[in-house]
Each structure stands twice: as C-alpha cells, then as structure tokens.
C-alpha cells in the first residue's frame, strides 16, 4: 500500500521532516495547523499526531484528490474497494481497445498496454462514481490509488516535463491501493483547492506552514499527466511533452513572486509563520533560479514579527544537470506581533 510520501515530487520535504517538525514543536504553540501550499501533503501527514485541526490546501486537482483519499474522514468499505482493484488488475490489458490515455501517452509515458488499462480504469471510476456504486470517500481512495500507481511506473525522471526517449517500455503497471490516515475523534481536517493568497484571508490558525514554489517551473505543467488523468476532460494535447493548453498557473513562478508572497504574509491571520526555503537562486539554469531571494524573504517576514532562521546542508532534488554547490535548506519561524 502507498503512503503519502511514496511520490516523486519536486520540492518534497519528506526527507527533511524530522528536522522541520522538531523546529516547529520547539518554537510554536497552538492547536491548529495550516499547510498553505501542501504539495504532496507529507508535511501535514508528518504532523498528524501534534494538533487538533488541520487545514490543507493546494491548487492542483490531483493533490486535492490525494488529500481527500488519505485525509477525508468519511466511512468507506475496504472490502468493496479491494474487490474493485482486484477486478481491474485481472483485466487482460493486451485485449483492450485504444483509449485517450493509450493514444496520447502510450509508448511515451507508459507502455501502450499499460496505458490502455490506465485509461480503462479511469473511465470505469468515472462511471461507477456517477452511478453511486461507490461513495465519495471510496472514489477518492480509488482515484488517488490510480495516481500513485501511475506515478510509480511512469517513464519519466520524476516529473512530466518530458518522457524518457526509450524503445520497448516494459509493461509493469499494477493497480495498488493507498493507505488512508485515521485521525482521532478530537481531530478535524479541512481540505481546499484555492488560490492561497485568497484563502488566507478567510482562515484563522495558530501555525501557518508556507512552502510556495520559488522558481519558474510551474507545477501544473510539471505534473500535467496526473492533472489530466484526474480532471478527465480529455483535452487536445500539444508539443513533444503532450501538454494541454496552459491553465492554473502560479504567480509565484513569475517575476511578481516577491509581491504576491508579501501579500500572502501580510494577510495571514496566525500566531506563527513557518517558511521553508532553499538557496538555489544562483544556478546555471534560468528555470531553476529563485524568484524570491533569501534577503527579500527575510525582510518580508521581519515586518510581520520576530523571525528566527535555521538552516542545514541538503542535497536539492534536481532532474537536470545543474550542480548546486553548498546547497542549504532554510526554515524561518516568525512569531507574529499583533
């Protein structure tokens, strides 16, 4: 079964969470934890024993579905889910007809027969959900499980900006389940897919964890295959990487990043702000260059309250050839002054 951290995801904080959690516990107090740019959701997952209320947000459709699969506290029938998964795994994929996934992604991001089965499962999930054969929680578990199973075997280097140019991609897709999280009766979780800068105006919390994108690489473009499978609108695809038309683009990946970051920090209604940052703003690749500098970020936080800065050496995930020397991960913790 998949845990939340079993994903290949640029900027994931999973390997840093023991350190980050220790800093948060030592420097922040409260009962409510707001994961403003939740990404994979692993930060919230790692902190699940520490607070009474969790607020999780991300602007990607696939991430919202995954949060609901893992964290939505609704009843589900695990035996029913396992039977559905077993049925799909027993399908002879070589005999399936071509479909949207196989036509577009077959022999590129996936083995063609695997792609036919992925497309078949996605269409079936849409149908059984529409017919109320499964409830909402069961649907989110099954769709999240499909996304994790797809990501595990995709013919990529960890994201979907391109596929690896190889012949005869092995057939290795297996539909495997995620392992949903169980909260106590006293714990609650709220899940959002909203513009973070607008959402913070409506949320009151004790601790706000802020980990926005810092360079020009748009996550909606990096993970377009998973987004496409999630929304299942079957749009026309373009270019070598087979991407749909641009949508859901983040201002944090543009030259306006400092301005929108300041707007977000100014509007946060919280006792503590925890911001993570990595110092990769002098790489060879312009797409890797940070849109907000360390100095700009510190100045914005200092205007909100007393800020402590922590750092440690960390090898940044990089799918390209850029070598980032003396790379560090930073954690800023600001105690907000009313």
Distance CA 150, CA 226 (A): 8
pLDDT confidence tier of residue 192, bands split at 50, 70 and 90:
very high
Distance CA 185, CA 206 (A): 20
pLDDT confidence tier of residue 256, bands split at 50, 70 and 90:
confident
Distance CA 177, CA 180 (A): 9
Distance CA 115, CA 225 (A): 12
**What confidence score (pLDDT) does residue 314 get?**
73
Model pTM? Answer: 0.90
Contact indicator for 35, 54 with CB cutoff of 8 Å: yes
Q: How many CB atoms lie within 10 A of CB 262?
A: 18
What residues does each domain of the chain span? 1-66+183-216+254-338, 74-181
pLDDT confidence tier of residue 28, bands split at 50, 70 and 90:
very high
Residue 71 vs residues 143, 197, 199: alpha-carbon distances, Å: 14, 23, 19
DSSP-assigned letters across all residues of 249-263: --GGGSTTHHHHHHH
Residues 101-110: pLDDT tens digits? 999 999 999 9
Q: How many CB atoms lie within 10 A of CB 165?
A: 8
Kindly state the percentage of the chain with pLDDT values over 90. 75
Give exposure, 4-13, as e/b (b: 16+ Cβ within 10 Å): bbbbbbbbbb
CA angle 150–15–214, rounded 5-degree value: 80
User: What is the dihedral angle through the alpha carbons of 22, 27, 30, 36, rounded to the nearest 10 degrees?
Assistant: -70
Residue 337: name the closest of 308, 298, 303 by CA.
Answer: 303
Overall average pLDDT of the 30-38 stretch: 97
Residue 203: name the closest of 190, 187, 212 by CA.
Answer: 190
Distant-in-sequence, close-in-space partners of 124: CB < 8 Å, separation ≥ 6: 88
DSSP label at 91? S
For 1-66+183-216+254-338, CATH gives: 3.40.50.150
Residues 297-326: pLDDT tens digits? 999 999 999 999 999 987 654 444 445 556
Distance CA 330, CA 314 (A): 10
């Amino acid at each position: 079964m998949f845990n939340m951290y079993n994903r290949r995801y640029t900027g994931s904080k999973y390997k840093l969470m023991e350190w980050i959690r220790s800093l948060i516990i030592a420097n922040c107090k409260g009962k409510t934890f707001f994961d403003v740019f939740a990404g994979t959701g692993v930060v919230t997952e790692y902190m699940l024993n520490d607070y009474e209320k969790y607020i999780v947000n991300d602007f990607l459709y696939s991430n919202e579905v995954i949060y609901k699969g893992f964290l939505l506290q609704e009843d589900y029938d695990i035996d029913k889910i396992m039977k559905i998964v077993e049925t799909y795994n027993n399908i002879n994929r070589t005999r399936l007809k071509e479909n949207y996934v196989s036509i577009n992604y077959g022999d590129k991001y996936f083995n063609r027969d695997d792609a036919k089965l992925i497309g078949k499962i996605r269409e079936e999930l849409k149908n059984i959900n529409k017919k109320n054969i499964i409830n909402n929680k069961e649907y989110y578990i099954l769709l999240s499980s499909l996304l994790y199973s797809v990501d595990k075997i995709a013919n990529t280097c960890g994201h979907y900006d391109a596929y690896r140019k190889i012949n005869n991609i092995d057939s290795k897709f297996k539909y495997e389940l995620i392992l949903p999280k169980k909260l106590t009766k006293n714990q609650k979780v709220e899940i959002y897919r909203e513009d973070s800068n607008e959402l913070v105006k409506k949320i009151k919390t004790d601790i706000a964890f802020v980990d926005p994108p810092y360079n020009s690489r748009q996550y909606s473009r990096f993970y377009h295959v998973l987004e496409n499978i999630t929304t299942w609108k079957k749009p026309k695809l373009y270019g070598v990487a087979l991407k749909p038309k641009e949508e859901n683009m983040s201002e944090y990946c543009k030259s306006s990043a400092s301005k929108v970051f300041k707007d977000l920090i100014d509007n946060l209604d919280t006792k503590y702000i925890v911001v993570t940052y990595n110092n990769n703003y002098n790489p060879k690749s312009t797409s890797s260059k940070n849109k907000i500098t360390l100095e700009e970020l510190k100045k914005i936080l200092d205007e909100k309250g007393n800020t402590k800065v922590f750092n440690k050496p960390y090898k940044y995930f990089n799918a390209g050839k850029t070598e980032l020397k003396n790379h560090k991960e930073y954690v800023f913790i600001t105690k907000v002054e009313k």
